């Protein structure tokens, strides 16, 4: 059983950018943040990244999926082991290979039971399936943690959190609400592609993982026609909550195929920024600041493009005393405790689920049972 009161939880995240695994300790009771603990990062090797990339869009049992799952489990065990001794529970998100909200199915590679055995800890995993069974999008899942973060930083009016990973997502939070699942407390949704198209462009054309700092995009000119057509995609006319798969906008790479490297990078970056601005139009009330997490906050060109389109300060979450590299890993530590305590992890305003629901399976090491 999980001890009463606050507990140290270990959370992990391996995002759609396919860069590696983040791990972080969080002291929480599932409602409040009490303290932030140690963190670690384990990059995927080029070969491991390609193994995962080859399995994107595939479902359990399809070719390459078992190999990707083994990479994910091994990488997570390696990065989690040094932190596990301090933790009472762990949250394992896994690596999303496919996400089909319309079809009510999602696939995160990796088995939480394997990690429970390796680490000797209860591991909470498969966070999304319960939400989707009740008609939710299964994503995004960080909003309830964002609500706790808004209270931790002392926000007294609505704020927004923007995660710029492979896909972008926004959370609008009113910290004055009694709980994250309360009506009007949270609105969350995916904005559109963020880093994924630029990363894929850089890999395909230049053999690089990313446009470091947005330098290549800064040297080019966006094609306004391509960005305008991008914004006419039906996704942008849907009301939130809504979510995407990493490859839902894969055609963007075809759209920039005729552009030079710098102009192509600038166009994809401008599209990501325009998607964020389009999303901000759905906020129920203005926000005092937009706090940015995820790898995209290091892209100065992308940040400048977003700031030019948003009518409030746009800042990395570090400006509020948070760690943008570890926020999602911390979120799954927080959610793991919520699952173990029977608290909700998503609600109508965050995923469109019919009612507030707690997701996640709990796997316990068999050698401790009996």
CATH class, range 7-132+360-368: alpha beta
Contact 40, 83 (CB under 8 A): yes
Quote the pTM value: 0.92
CATH superfamily for 154-320 is ATPase, nucleotide binding domain (3.30.420.40)
Q: Does this chain's domain 7-132+360-368 share its CATH topology with 154-320? A: yes
Distance CA 87, CA 100 (A): 33
Would you say residue 250 has pLDDT above 50? yes
pLDDT beyond 80 at 1: no
pLDDT at residue 370 in the model: 39
What integer pLDDT is reported at residue 367 of this predicted model? 62
pLDDT of amino acid 155: 97
pLDDT per residue as tens digits for the range 155-195:
999 999 999 988 899 999 999 999 999 999 999 999 999 99
- CA dist 92 and 74 (Å) reads 13
Q: Is 311 exposed, middle or buried (0-12, 13-18, 19+ CB in 10 A)?
A: exposed
Domain boundaries, the chain: 7-132+360-368, 154-320
What is residue 369's predicted lDDT score, i.e. its pLDDT? 42
pLDDT at residue 245 is higher than 80: no
pLDDT tens per residue, range 312-351:
999 999 999 999 999 999 999 999 999 999 999 999 999 9
Alpha helices (H) along the chain: 46-55, 65-84, 112-119, 129-133, 143-152, 195-206, 215-218, 224-230, 251-255, 261-280, 300-309, 327-340, 348-351
């Amino acid at each position: 059983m999980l001890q009463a009161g606050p507990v140290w939880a270990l959370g992990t995240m391996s995002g759609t950018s396919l860069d590696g695994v983040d791990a972080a300790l969080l002291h929480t009771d599932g409602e409040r943040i009490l303290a932030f603990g140690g963190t670690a990062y384990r990059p995927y090797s080029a070969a491991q990244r390609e193994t995962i990339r080859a399995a994107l869009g595939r479902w359990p049992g399809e070719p390459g999926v078992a190999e990707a799952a083994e990479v994910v489990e091994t990488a997570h065990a390696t990065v989690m082991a040094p932190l596990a001794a301090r933790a009472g529970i762990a949250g394992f998100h896994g690596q999303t290979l496919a996400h089909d909200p319309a079809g009510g199915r999602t696939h995160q590679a990796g088995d939480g039971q394997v990690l429970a055995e390796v680490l000797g800890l209860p591991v909470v995993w498969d966070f999304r399936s319960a939400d989707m069974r009740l008609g939710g999008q299964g994503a995004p899942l960080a909003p309830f943690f964002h609500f706790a973060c808004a209270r931790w930083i002392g926000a007294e009016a609505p704020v927004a959190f923007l995660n710029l990973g492979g896909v972008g997502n926004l959370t609008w939070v009113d910290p004055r609400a009694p709980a994250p699942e309360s009506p009007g407390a949270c609105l969350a949704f995916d904005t559109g592609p963020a880093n994924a198209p630029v990363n894929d462009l850089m890999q395909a054309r230049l053999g690089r993982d990313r446009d470091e700092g947005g330098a290549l995009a800064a040297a080019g000119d966006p094609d306004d026609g391509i960005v305008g057509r991008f914004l006419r995609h039906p996704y942008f006319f849907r009301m939130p909550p809504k979510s995407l798969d990493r490859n839902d906008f894969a055609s963007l790479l075809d759209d920039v195929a005729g552009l030079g490297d710098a102009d192509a990078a600038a166009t994809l970056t401008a599209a990501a920024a325009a998607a964020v601005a389009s999303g901000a139009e759905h906020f129920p009330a203005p926000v005092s600041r937009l706090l940015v997490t995820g790898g995209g906050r290091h892209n100065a060109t992308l940040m400048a493009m977003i700031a030019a389109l948003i009518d409030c300060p746009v800042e990395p979450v570090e400006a509020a005393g948070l760690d943008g590299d570890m926020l999602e890993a911390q979120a799954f530590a927080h959610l793991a405790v919520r699952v173990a305590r029977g608290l909700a992890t998503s609600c109508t305003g965050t995923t469109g689920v019919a009612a507030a629901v707690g997701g996640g399976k709990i796997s316990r090491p068999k050698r401790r049972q009996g």
